[in-house]
Amino acid sequence: MARKPKKTVPPACTHCDTPAQLVDGSQVYPHRQDLVARLFWRCGCGAYVGTHKGSDRPLGTPANAQLRDARMKLHNQMVDPLWQTAIASVGYRPEGARATTIIRNTARAAYMNSWRGNSA
């Protein structure tokens, strides 16, 4: 028996708690031909969030320009340097790209979870 594909639950807007609508890239970035085929979750207040490539799974929750900028700075200045140096800190050379990806993703998830816990 074939499984039904799971339907993605629309993410609630960070700012007004409204469920976002799925739109294509032309609705968010009308001048970016390279993003036309990508999907975004957009709220009526203008907040939006991208999706994982090839799916409609949101990358997070819809955010306005100020919050998107803050998230980008957080990743560039704090989160990315941590997961990018995780390989050096484990003390051995991972066997292949898959192991490297797992270590980096685990480090990133651990850091993001600790950050979420501290902000509550």
* Dihedral angle over CA of 58, 49, 104, 73, nearest 10: -160
Question: Cα angle at 116 between 112 and 120, to 5 degrees?
Answer: 170
Specify the stretch interacting with Zn ion by CB under 5 A; choose among 8-16, 21-29, 78-86, 96-104: 8-16
| Residue 73 CB neighbours (<10 A) | 10
Among 47, 49, 63, 86, binds Zn ion (CB under 5 A): 47
Binding of Zn ion at residue 12 (CB under 5 A)?
no
Shortest Å distance, C-beta 116 to Zn ion = 21
Choice between 16 and 109, CB closer to Zn ion: 16
Binding of Zn ion at residue 36 (CB under 5 A)?
no
